[in-house]
């Protein structure tokens, strides 16, 4: 495992590079929320994907990546610069064609990448996807900083899982420690503030995305209803669907081995077209 700060123009993206350096590249894009970051979001499933070269950045304005002061408040402007810095990171690392795995907000980033530069990306896995017409329930996330305590973080995380999970305390504490950083709070608050909205990937938009896709969701997800993945499966032209009946929003923590097997099998399967 290699950790580095990849310089992308005036910014840096803190990135973990893990797995087989000669394997097919796979880019992991994490979700949003106070203290969210890349590697902790996906770590439990990465051992099952060690034949790939797994690139796991903290998106701009999250974790140990840069927290710029000059981004206009609002979801749209932050999404735009996050997409651009991810593309620049791939260029800086010399990564050509790469598979995508997005979780929640990270699926918004993944879909923007697919629309902007389709030939650069292979297969795409969209886990608990944001960015569809199915609206997310973000009250717990946006309300955290009104009372940013360890207990509130624990409640936030527990609300996104359906059962007891080993190592959940360590994950919760790492998120809490990151969330307490002033720059992390500032970036999160700015990105969630009033301003240009992020684009919605409706039926017409999804119809233009020709990639082999896999939509994955937990049926008990209270943050983004699993109908979001049903919508993707209905409107992406080449999209398979898998629903975990007893899981919630943080599938990478709840079903890491099963999710890794699912991703591995999907990427290795022969193309259907």
pLDDT at 36: 98
Q: Is residue 264 part of a domain?
A: yes
pLDDT at 272: 60
pLDDT band at 270 (very low <50, low <70, confident <90, very high): confident
d(CA 200, CA 108): 9
CATH number, position 264? 3.40.50.1820
Judged against a pLDDT cut of 70, whether residue 44 lies above it is answered with: yes
Average pLDDT over residues 171-181: 98
CB of 37 closer than 8 Å to CB of 156: no
Q: Is residue 263 part of a domain?
A: yes
Judged against a pLDDT cut of 80, whether residue 269 lies above it is answered with: yes
E strand intervals along the chain: 2-8, 11-19, 25-29, 53-57, 98-103, 121-127, 213-218, 239-244
pLDDT at 237: 97
**Torsion angle, alpha carbons of 173, 175, 178, 179, to 10:** -110
Tell me how many domains the chain contains.
Answer: 1
Q: Is residue 273 part of a domain?
A: no
Judged against a pLDDT cut of 80, whether residue 124 lies above it is answered with: yes
Judged against a pLDDT cut of 90, whether residue 215 lies above it is answered with: yes
pLDDT at 38: 98
3-class DSSP state for residue 266? helix
3-class DSSP state for residue 129? coil
Q: Is residue 54 part of a domain?
A: yes
3-class DSSP state for residue 193? coil
d(CA 149, CA 145): 8
87-118 pLDDT tens trace: 999 999 999 999 999 999 999 999 999 999 99
Structural domain including 201 reads 2-268
Q: Is residue 100 part of a domain?
A: yes
pLDDT at 166: 82
pLDDT at 264: 97
Tally of CA atoms within 13 A in the half-sphere of 127 that contains its CB = 28
Per cent of the chain over pLDDT 70 is 99
Per cent of the chain over pLDDT 90 is 96
Residues in the chain: 273
pLDDT at 273: 60
Annotate 19-85 with DSSP letters as a single string. E-TTSPEEEEE---STT--SHHHHHHHHGGGTTSEEEEEPPTTSTTS---S-SPSSHHHHHHHHHHH
């Amino acid at each position: 495992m290699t950790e580095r700060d990849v310089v992308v123009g005036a910014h840096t993206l803190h990135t973990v590079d893990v797995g087989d350096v000669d394997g097919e590249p796979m880019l992991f894009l994490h979700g949003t929320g106070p203290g969210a970051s890349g590697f902790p979001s996906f770590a439990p499933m990465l051992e099952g994907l060690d034949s790939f070269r797994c690139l796991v950045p903290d998106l701009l304005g999250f974790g140990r990546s840069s927290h710029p002061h000059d981004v206009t408040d609002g979801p749209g402007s932050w999404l735009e610069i996050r997409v651009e810095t991810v593309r620049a990171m791939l260029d800086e690392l010399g990564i050509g064609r790469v598979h995508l795995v997005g979780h929640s907000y990270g699926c918004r980033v993944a879909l923007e990448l697919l629309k902007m530069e389709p030939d650069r990306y292979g297969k795409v896995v969209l886990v608990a996807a944001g960015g569809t017409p199915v609206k997310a329930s973000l009250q717990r996330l946006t309300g955290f900083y009104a009372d940013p305590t360890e207990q509130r973080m624990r409640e936030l995380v527990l609300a996104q899982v359906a059962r007891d999970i080993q190592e959940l305390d360590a994950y919760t504490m790492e998120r809490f420690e990151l969330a307490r950083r002033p720059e992390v709070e500032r970036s999160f608050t700015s990105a969630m503030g009033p301003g240009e909205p992020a684009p919605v990937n409706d039926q017409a938009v999804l119809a233009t995305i020709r990639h082999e896709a896999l939509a994955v969701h937990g049926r008990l997800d209270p943050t983004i209803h699993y109908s979001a993945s049903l919508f993707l499966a209905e409107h992406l032209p080449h999209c398979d669907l898998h629903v975990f009946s007893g899981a919630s929003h943080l599938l990478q923590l709840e079903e890491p081995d099963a999710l890794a097997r699912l991703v591995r099998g999907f990427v290795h399967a022969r193309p259907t077209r």
